[in-house]
């Protein structure tokens, strides 16, 4: 496994993209995509030689992300690339990780499988086994 991207929860993707791309010299990698399962909007930004940053915002008033945003938002999870999401999810579970979301299609990843786990020590992770990004611009 290796780190594929980090995810930051923001109140407004449009404002955050403008600010972070300018300050960090990143470029927009994808168009904004709505992930109906997690009730968030997602956009990726990229910079040559660095890992991607995924920004998420609540997609509706019922999004569970609002509770996190109301606390200030910020680093939401670190995403790890693995060869097989399902097998790695099971392996992490056997090691004591709490599965927050079992492997299911991820709309921001062209419906390839993703899962979310809590490892303890304040660390939420996402697992992916694809390089696909829906609505990729670059």
| Backbone region of residue 54 per phi and psi (left: phi > 0; alpha: psi in -120 to 50; beta: other values) | beta
Whole-model pTM? 0.92
- Containing domain of residue 116, as a range? 2-128
How many degrees, rounded to 5, is the angle at CA 22 between CA 69 and CA 48? Answer: 100
The position carrying tokens 């499988």 is 113
Residue 137 belongs to some domain of the structure: no
| Structural domains in the chain (count) | 1
Note whether residue 134 is domain-resident: no
Q: 133 lies in a domain? A: no
Q: Give the CATH number, domain containing residue 17.
A: 3.10.180.10
Residue 14: inside a domain, yes or no? yes
What is the DSSP-derived secondary structure letter of residue 97?
P
- Confirm if 53 and 10 have CB atoms less than 8 A apart: no
Distance, in Å, from the CA atom of 1 to the CA atom of 115, rounded to the nearest integer, reads: 14
Tell me the per-residue pLDDT of 26-80, one tens digit each, with 9 for 90 and over: 999 999 999 888 899 999 999 999 999 999 999 999 999 999 999 999 999 999 9
């Amino acid at each position: 496994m290796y780190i594929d991207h980090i995810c930051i929860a923001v109140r407004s993707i449009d404002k955050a993209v403008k600010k972070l791309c300018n300050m960090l010299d990143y470029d927009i990698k994808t168009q904004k995509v709505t992930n109906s399962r997690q009730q968030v909007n997602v956009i990726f930004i990229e910079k040559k030689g660095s890992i991607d940053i995924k920004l998420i915002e609540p997609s509706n008033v019922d999004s569970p992300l609002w509770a996190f945003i109301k606390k200030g938002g910020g680093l939401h999870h670190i995403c790890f690339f693995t060869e097989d999401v399902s097998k790695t999810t099971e392996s992490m579970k056997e090691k004591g990780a709490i599965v927050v979301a079992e492997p299911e299609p991820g709309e921001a990843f062209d419906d390839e499988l993703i899962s979310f786990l809590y490892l303890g020590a304040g660390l939420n992770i996402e697992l992916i086994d694809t390089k696909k990004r829906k609505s990729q611009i670059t």
